[in-house]
Structure 1
Amino acid sequence: MSDSYWTPRQPQANTRGRQLSATMDTKTIVLVTGANSGIGLASIRSFWESPKTYHILAAGRTLQKIQDAVAPIRDSPSPGHSTIDEIEIDISDDVSITNAASLIQGKFGRLDTLVNNAGGGNDTDYQNGTMSQREAWNRTMDLNVTSPQVMTTEFAPLLLKSADPRLLYITSGMSSLQEEHTRTTPGEARAPKYPAGWPKAERTAATNAYAYRVSKTALNMMFLHWVRLFEADGVKCFALSPGFLATNLAGDPELMKKAGAGDPSLGGDFIRDCVEGKRDEHAGRVIRRDGSIQDW
């Protein structure tokens, strides 16, 4: 893997001139995918602002975008004297994932936390005619299920070399089978009922998002399988449902805020809480930011 995929920096001094006191052996090495925006970027900032010491691997498809996004964070003080490297990973590309795992193996020899944050949805692409239904569903399933499955498989050996390995997935509050069955899924109360006959009128993407919802339900099943696989290895696994936050996943973040969406920083802090042990009693479950357990 060439240096064009990676921006290694020696742990000398941060931008405020303070000497880094911790060696790489004592830093918690955390990899976050989809780190150039939304909840992923918010988690990078949250780790950076923690009094604990991290070496943060901020990953995304385009190195320049990650560098641009992370630059303002690096220019601020880090109470824990954390450090950041940007790394290019396309989670839909097996070669990109394998190369990244090899690079991290060579530089650090382990990974303490993998945050499978990157994902997306293509329901609006189907609704506006830019993708067929099959294309939209296949792409959504690839991003939200297949890609984190491959990521976890490739990085599992590195996680197992950690003294405190943690594996996180970002799911959705709209993924519960029980809540769909009882019509208590968030958004269902305002969704119109369908009259008899065919075709059925499409709902708006914000309350529909069927491909996205199904993919996150599948992700939950995949997560539970990894809980079983890692049961004897001491890996703490979490599937996090961060709630309705103003990201670019479902459109314009500013419009989402006007609709009641929370700031992505809430999701970033939720991720950090799980890495720092504040939700360990709920390891192995799908958990919501408000402290509750999500029904299957």
Structure 2
Amino acid sequence: MSERIALVTGASRGVGRAVAEGLAERGMTVISGMRTPSGELSVRLDVTDPATISAAAAWIEERFGRLDVLVNNAGISGYTPGRPPGATTVESVREVFETNVLGVVAVTNAMLPLLRRSPAARIVNVSSAVGSLTHQTDPGHYLYGLPPQAAYPASKAALNALTVQYARELAGEGILVNAVTPGPCDTDFTRGLGFDLGRTAQDGARAVVRLATVGPDGPTGGFFDENGRVPW
């Protein structure tokens, strides 16, 4: 049981890839969940497709028998410049929630039987500081300058709430569940937002890797960045 097995969704590029690399550097066997797998330790996984989720769980069970770390990283922004909440379609909001919220539920529930076989399982949900209602209502915070959006911030706030509920359910089983914001870093996802992107994807992955590797006395049900707790 010394070898730890991790699954990272949305691991083909950006922060997800950097998280996979960071966990591998810590000696873990990392399975990269991708829509188009590449490499031996990658698996086809579309978080909006139940068939691929079930097949991925079956593949992990057959090959490894358990899962120690799940990083729910896959996400989409759904951002359309110049389209405020009042001009946003229900369909576009639903699409973002399908990936960023319901996809996390689907993957987590499919992997829970495998995580429960681990002596010290960890779940990390990759969120965003835009999901912080505190930041979004603080005129002094840099995120306050972002244009109002209906889909992405709401999906990440929902993901934070979902994180708390899983943490409450699993606390008695020793499974720690936390949400992490990587912060603005130079990836395809964040370019064009007008931030100073002096940070790399590896910088963004640092807090995710830390929460995925905390010991038994680590936190659960929290929201963190690389500097510590983030206000809800």
Answer whether TM exceeds 0.5 for this pair. yes
Aligned-pair CA distance for 1:186: 3.3
Aligned-pair CA distance for 1:280: 5.3
1:105 alignment partner, SS class: helix
Q: Assess if the C-alpha contact under 8 Å between 1:174 and 1:186 holds in 2.
A: no
Aligned-pair CA distance for 1:246: 1.5
Structure 2: give runs of 5+ residues left out of the alignment. Answer: none
Between Structure 1 and Structure 2, whose CA radius of gyration is higher? 1
Q: Are residue 160 (structure 1) and residue 116 (structure 2) matched?
A: yes
Structure 1: give runs of 5+ residues left out of the alignment. Answer: 1-24, 68-83, 192-205
What does residue 216 of structure 1 align with? 156
What does residue 49 of structure 1 align with? 25
Map residues 1-296 of structure 1 onto 2, 5 A cutoff. 25-50=1-26, 53-63=27-37, 66-67=38-39, 85-124=41-80, 127=83, 133-188=89-144, 191=145, 207-251=147-191, 259-277=196-214, 281-291=218-228, 293-296=229-232
Name the amino acid aligned to 2:135. Answer: E
Q: Assess if the C-alpha contact under 8 Å between 2:122 and 2:213 holds in 1.
A: no
Across the two proteins, how many residue pairs are aligned to each other? Answer: 230
Aligned-pair CA distance for 1:101: 0.6
Name the amino acid aligned to 2:17. Answer: L
2:113 alignment partner, SS class: helix
Change (3 A) 1:49 1:120: same
1:228 alignment partner, SS class: helix
Change (3 A) 1:244 1:279: farther
2:179 alignment partner, SS class: strand
Alignment root-mean-square deviation, CA: 2.4
Q: Percent identity?
A: 27
Aligned-pair CA distance for 1:232: 1.0
Name the amino acid aligned to 1:288. Answer: D
Q: What is the distance in 1 between the residues matched to 2:8 and 2:231?
A: 26
Q: What is the distance in 2 between the residues matched to 1:111 and 1:126?
A: 42
Aligned-pair CA distance for 1:56: 0.7
Q: What is the distance in 2 between the residues matched to 1:49 and 1:108?
A: 19
Change (3 A) 1:143 1:186: farther
Aligned-pair CA distance for 1:268: 2.0
Q: Assess if the C-alpha contact under 8 Å between 2:184 and 2:204 holds in 1.
A: no
Moved more, 206-215 or 238-247: 206-215
Q: Assess if the C-alpha contact under 8 Å between 1:144 and 1:216 holds in 2.
A: yes
Q: What is the distance in 2 between the residues matched to 1:119 and 1:236?
A: 21
Q: What is the distance in 2 between the residues matched to 1:169 and 1:230?
A: 15
